[in-house]
Chains A and B, each alone.
Chain A
């Protein structure tokens, strides 16, 4: 990532550490979220994403390090920061017996917002018709939308969304994606954490990847993906024979009855489709199709998290859902 000045950052974490008993949730985390656009916050389960978001919203205090939102220290200026940040932490949480409208009215009242603002927020997320229904009867997608409506009540400059498409059907995912892009176009900075990397690729401008509570990489998506980490897909009539020809030169994985995925051996550059074709032809095999593809975000994510260094502190002995690099690769 290019050097970014502090005033250009919506969120800036420096040396952030947090420990829960034996688990080192954050370990000197550095995080820079530029103003404007959609910033993806990626990491395996237990990597510290939610802890970071909880610190940014004042729900948790860091043991060490600082967190600034639009230049203001979250620890000392939380009241001011809270007016600028709309957040949906983990899953949407509402009173199930209350209607969607009442849930939002309760949140709007201390903000001195009129009922019309609540109706507007409900309209914005497409819940106006179901506003009088108890939230307990909402689907997960409706709850996600209501949570987004709640966050928008504050007219935030930074919207933090933890797993925004979790549990949504394809139509719901598309709707949330569209809403996030619209909000970003209005100048709101969006920080979204997600596991669905294909989803992230479609909506995010920049990303930070963390593992074991540490930053592994950050920057525009296109810079996180290595062009020379690409691969070649080959369609051949006899997969086993073609694989035997290519295996001395590349990592070869059958991906179908007639398809092979050809990747570079460790330390070598990405395979060249022409070279792959030549090797096959020399052995008397001819590919019916050959396609070069660059590294996907998912592959970049797996590559980076697999190479994550071990934590400096004592390793978590009871980190239930902390993924190890080995687990990620499998």
Chain B
């Protein structure tokens, strides 16, 4: 327990953590603002502005369409008041938009912090000092992993909670009800997603022992995933469905509390197929990935020389 507390203290003493996590929380919360504004009801001022815009456009149309040289299809362009009235989105649709704006905002950060938390120790050489104080390398690995996963899981929850809070406060202030029944579960999935991603990041840091090398691998994998996605789509048939099993797609499903994978045939002959990905299935996929990476990471710490 003491070892774990020491790792927690070290994690939260890092400057990168103190800068990056508040920035993440603020940025995530900020994505709620434009989404929530789409669900704002129209005000009298909005309606007056829409009416004024309509009048202006209508007068322009009348001028353009008067006389013998007028476009014979002028009637098709005739403006109507509805063209200028804003229809508020439903709160549910606006929330989905907020989530898509948030997207993978945190994922690169969790990866970066997780990798560097471990790699920085190897770079500074402090890992050898640490091991002379705490020679049980399994315990050392477990506490590092635990401290990073717990902290970044909590950061993910905080960021999403901030986004939810901004969204709910903005809409309730203007009298729009928000259904928050799924929020708690979504917070849970975000914790799980960040913790699993951090487990992989810690293992990458332990295996490559260098932040830049670890990140290069992660970015490389992301790049390859993009290529694989396109290649599978072009391969068509059953191949195009395999894209749902790529790690990025699965991770998005964990963070989003589920996702839909759309298989769009290139020839347009058939209709797009929508494949649902459950958060449970995606979490299992990432758990297997995290366990595999952790096993290699543990081997790297216990079997390789530590300088």
Which residues of A from 9 to 37 have beta carbons under 8 Å from B? none
Residue of A nearest to B15 (CB): A97
**In the assembled complex, B133 has its CB within 8 A of some CB on chain A:** yes
**In the assembled complex, A112 has its CB within 8 A of some CB on chain B:** yes
Interface pick from A56-64, A219-227, A274-282, A287-295 = A56-64
Docked Cα-Cα span, A110 to B5, in Å, equals 8
Q: How many cross-chain pairs have Cβ atoms below 8 Å apart between A and B?
A: 66
Asked if residues B129 and A94 are in contact (CB atoms below 8 Å), the reply is yes
**In the assembled complex, A261 has its CB within 8 A of some CB on chain B:** no
Asked if residues A150 and B129 are in contact (CB atoms below 8 Å), the reply is yes
* Chain A window 81-122, contacts with chain B (Cβ cutoff 8 Å), 1 for yes, 0 for no: 110010101110111111000100111011110000000000
**In the assembled complex, A330 has its CB within 8 A of some CB on chain B:** no
Docked Cα-Cα span, A154 to B135, in Å, equals 14
Asked if residues B3 and A110 are in contact (CB atoms below 8 Å), the reply is yes
Docked Cα-Cα span, A106 to B306, in Å, equals 19
Docked Cα-Cα span, A150 to B130, in Å, equals 11
With contacts A59-B306, A95-B124, A96-B124 taken as known, whether A78 is within 8 angstroms of B135 at the C-beta atoms is yes
Which residues of B from 113 to 133 have beta carbons under 8 Å from A? 120, 124-126, 128-133
With contacts A105-B9, A110-B6 taken as known, whether A57 is within 8 angstroms of B132 at the C-beta atoms is yes
Residue of B nearest to A134 (CB): B15
Which residues from A are CB-within-8-Å of B180? none
Docked Cα-Cα span, A154 to B133, in Å, equals 8
Asked if residues B134 and A110 are in contact (CB atoms below 8 Å), the reply is yes
Docked Cα-Cα span, A87 to B120, in Å, equals 21
With contacts A82-B132, A89-B128 taken as known, whether A110 is within 8 angstroms of B120 at the C-beta atoms is no
Asked if residues A85 and B132 are in contact (CB atoms below 8 Å), the reply is yes
Asked if residues B13 and A93 are in contact (CB atoms below 8 Å), the reply is no
Asked if residues B132 and A58 are in contact (CB atoms below 8 Å), the reply is yes
Tell me if B's interface is mostly helix, strand, loop or mixed: helix
B87 to chain A minimum Cβ distance, whole angstroms, is 52
Asked if residues A89 and B2 are in contact (CB atoms below 8 Å), the reply is no
Which of A78, A94, A102, A105 is B124 in contact with, Cβ under 8 Å? A94
Asked if residues B129 and A109 are in contact (CB atoms below 8 Å), the reply is no
* Chain A window 228-248, contacts with chain B (Cβ cutoff 8 Å), 1 for yes, 0 for no: 000000000000000000000
Which of B9, B15, B132 is A106 in contact with, Cβ under 8 Å? B9
Asked if residues B128 and A59 are in contact (CB atoms below 8 Å), the reply is yes
Residue of B nearest to A109 (CB): B6
Asked if residues B132 and A87 are in contact (CB atoms below 8 Å), the reply is yes
Which residues from A are CB-within-8-Å of B136? 79
Residue of A nearest to B130 (CB): A107
Which residues from A are CB-within-8-Å of B6? 106-107, 109-110
Which residues from A are CB-within-8-Å of B126? 93-95
Chain B residues with a Cβ closer than 8 Å to the other chain, count: 24
B193 to chain A minimum Cβ distance, whole angstroms, is 29
Interface centre among A57, A89, A106 (most CB of B within 10 A): A106
Chain A residues with a Cβ closer than 8 Å to the other chain, count: 29
Docked Cα-Cα span, A109 to B9, in Å, equals 9
* Chain A window 40-59, contacts with chain B (Cβ cutoff 8 Å), 1 for yes, 0 for no: 00000000000000000111
Asked if residues B13 and A98 are in contact (CB atoms below 8 Å), the reply is yes
Asked if residues A112 and B15 are in contact (CB atoms below 8 Å), the reply is no
Residue of B nearest to A60 (CB): B305
Asked if residues A89 and B132 are in contact (CB atoms below 8 Å), the reply is yes
B237 to chain A minimum Cβ distance, whole angstroms, is 50
Asked if residues B133 and A93 are in contact (CB atoms below 8 Å), the reply is no
With contacts A93-B124, A109-B6 taken as known, whether A59 is within 8 angstroms of B131 at the C-beta atoms is yes
* Chain A window 140-173, contacts with chain B (Cβ cutoff 8 Å), 1 for yes, 0 for no: 0000000000100010000000000000000000
Interface centre among B5, B9, B13, B306 (most CB of A within 10 A): B13
Docked Cα-Cα span, A59 to B3, in Å, equals 18
Which residues from B are CB-within-8-Å of A85? 132
Asked if residues A112 and B135 are in contact (CB atoms below 8 Å), the reply is no
B143 to chain A minimum Cβ distance, whole angstroms, is 9
Which of B14, B133, B305 is A97 in contact with, Cβ under 8 Å? B14
Asked if residues A58 and B135 are in contact (CB atoms below 8 Å), the reply is yes
With contacts A82-B132, A98-B13 taken as known, whether A93 is within 8 angstroms of B2 at the C-beta atoms is no
Docked Cα-Cα span, A81 to B215, in Å, equals 37
Docked Cα-Cα span, A98 to B306, in Å, equals 22
State the 10 A-B residue pairs at the shortest beta-carbon distance, nearest first.
A93-B125, A109-B6, A110-B3, A82-B135, A78-B135, A110-B2, A58-B135, A57-B132, A93-B126, A87-B132
| 13 further A-B pairs in the complex, CB-CB below 8 A; given A59-B132, A91-B125 | A57-B131, A58-B135, A79-B136, A82-B133, A90-B125, A94-B124, A95-B126, A98-B13, A102-B13, A105-B9, A107-B6, A109-B6, A154-B133
B residues bordering A, Cβ < 8 Å? 2-3, 5-6, 9-10, 13-15, 120, 124-126, 128-136, 305-306
A–B pairs, 16, beta carbons within 8 Å: A57-B132, A59-B128, A59-B131, A81-B135, A94-B124, A94-B129, A95-B126, A96-B124, A97-B15, A106-B9, A107-B129, A109-B3, A109-B9, A110-B6, A111-B133, A154-B133
